[in-house]
Amino acid sequence: MTTDGTTEHVHGYTAEKSSHLKRLRRIEGQIRGLQRMVEEDKYCIDILTQVSAATKALQSFSLELLEEHLSHCVVEAAQRGGPEAEEKVREASDAIARLVRS
Amino acid sequence: MTTDGTTEHVHGYTAEKSSHLKRLRRIEGQIRGLQRMVEEDKYCIDILTQVSAATKALQSFSLELLEEHLSHCVVEAAQRGGPEAEEKVREASDAIARLVRS
Amino acid sequence: MTTDGTTEHVHGYTAEKSSHLKRLRRIEGQIRGLQRMVEEDKYCIDILTQVSAATKALQSFSLELLEEHLSHCVVEAAQRGGPEAEEKVREASDAIARLVRS
Amino acid sequence: MTTDGTTEHVHGYTAEKSSHLKRLRRIEGQIRGLQRMVEEDKYCIDILTQVSAATKALQSFSLELLEEHLSHCVVEAAQRGGPEAEEKVREASDAIARLVRS
């Protein structure tokens, strides 16, 4: 949504925008918590546990975003058909590969 | 393809069937190689390197399968529209989540 | 290290503290960048690419922390011997399992 | 263990050898099951579920192997001390990084 209120293109995740922002702020809080733990010389294993939690939270965020992308952008492109559909599938597949490998 | 030769439903990956089988046989060979390494008391780190290779090969296989699934089953369901499209997207998203978490 | 200068226990990562904090601040910046992207309705795939980058950065951080932990806490416990060594190995193995599965 | 009964070096996992072989044979069976599924044109999502199961089984195997390696080879190297201990920790850390990234 542009600032002048016109809608150029509403992505799949727009409806969930505030829930996404809330999640990301929570993850930001986890990263700041990690900084505090390092500053206070907390035990390495406890820091690693927190890193795993933050990584999992990022992963859940990306899986949700991906599902919204598939159910909006990819489905709509498929309905319009043609090379754009193929392009969207390839693009989504590349993003999935990056997630699986990260 | 059913045994009597009629085609009920051709999945996205059918065209790539022989290439998939070749990949899976290679992975089977890697697993048998791992058994030999354990039997011959090979060094743990070398075994772990081979396990990582086999895991990566399985991952590449699943990413290819998934891309074919998206570009066939999901795109076709999207084109037919209705609740089936939603169902296919949810199902694919669940499979992606299992891949990302495994 | 306590503020009064006495050393209670110096963890493996203490020497690298400022480099760790720098990394975590960079990751925090990536998470804030993600919030901006969501706010500005950036394209889902571009957001996913950034999530993968942040996840990889967290992973590298944890791998470095783990290596320091092994080369300090675990090695020292092994040298002291006894049940503490076993305990440290089990604890490190559990942390590794959480990393691998996250 | 060599065939003439002399012990050159017993790795950490030797005691668990038969349990490791059993696991690897089960994984081999999973891979052959995947080949049958592809041959019989099973539904892509069901194949992906089986791939995730096999990947998880490989991962558990490697985590067990790694724990045994840490509690034997790494702990013993640490007790002998010197550059070998450092070398073993670096080598284990590299193996962990490969697991986390695969």
C59-73: pLDDT as tens digits: 999 999 999 999 999
Distance, in angstroms, between D4 CA and closest chain C CA?
A: 32
List the one residue out of D44, B91, C47, B59 whose CA is nearest residue A69. Answer: C47
The DSSP code sequence of B31-78 is HHHHHHHHHTT--HHHHHHHHHHHHHHHHHHHHHHHHHHIIIIIHHHH
**D48 occurs within a structural domain:** yes
- Name chain A contacts of B71, Cβ cutoff 8 Å: 86, 89-90
C-alpha span between B15 and B5 (Å, rounded): 16
**A9 occurs within a structural domain:** no
**A6 occurs within a structural domain:** no
pLDDT digits (tens, 9 = 90+) for C12-30: 666 789 999 999 999 999 9
Question: Whole domain around residue C93: which residue ranges?
Answer: 15-101
The DSSP code sequence of C66-83 is HHHHIIIIIHHHHHH-SH
Calculate mean pLDDT across residues A37-44. Answer: 95
Residue from C74, C84, C99 whose CB has the most chain D CBs within 10 Å, to mutate? C74
% of chain C at pLDDT higher than 70: 86
Nearest CA in chain A to C10: A41
Between residues A17 and C4, which one has the greater pLDDT? A17
**B5 occurs within a structural domain:** no
Phi–psi pair at C5, nearest 5 degrees: 90, -10
Q: Considering chain C, what is the average pLDDT of its residues?
A: 89
pLDDT digits (tens, 9 = 90+) for B33-87: 999 999 999 999 999 999 999 999 999 999 999 999 999 999 999 999 989 999 9
Per-residue pLDDT at D102:
82
Per-residue pLDDT at B10:
61
**A5 occurs within a structural domain:** no
Calculate mean pLDDT across residues C77-95. Answer: 94
Per-residue pLDDT at D5:
41
Calculate mean pLDDT across residues A76-94. Answer: 94
C-alpha span between B42 and B49 (Å, rounded): 12
Between residues B6 and D97, which one has the greater pLDDT? D97
Q: How confident is the model at residue B11 (pLDDT cuts 50, 70, 90)?
A: low
**D19 occurs within a structural domain:** yes
One-letter amino acid identity for A1? Answer: M
Which residues, in sequence order, are CB contacts of C58 under 8 Å at separation 6+? A51, A54, A55, A58, C27
Per-residue pLDDT at C102:
83
Contact C35, D39 (CB under 8 A): no
Chains sharing 3 or more CB pairs under 8 A with chain D: B, C
Calculate mean pLDDT across residues C31-60. Answer: 96
CATH number, position C61? 1.20.58.1000
CB contact under 8 A, D79 and C74: no
Per-residue pLDDT at B5:
41
Per-residue pLDDT at C2:
39
**B8 occurs within a structural domain:** no
C-alpha span between B42 and D13 (Å, rounded): 10
Nearest to D89 among C67, C89, C101 (CB): C67
**A68 occurs within a structural domain:** yes
CB contact under 8 A, A17 and C24: no
Query: In this predicted complex, what is the ipTM?
Result: 0.86
Per-residue pLDDT at B9:
55
Stretches where chain D sits below pLDDT 70 are 1-14
Per-residue pLDDT at B15:
72
Contact B28, D38 (CB under 8 A): no
Count how many domains chain D has: 1
C-alpha span between D12 and B59 (Å, rounded): 28
Q: How confident is the model at residue B3 (pLDDT cuts 50, 70, 90)?
A: very low
Would you say residue C7 has pLDDT above 90? no
Helices (H), chain C: 17-39, 44-69, 75-80, 83-101
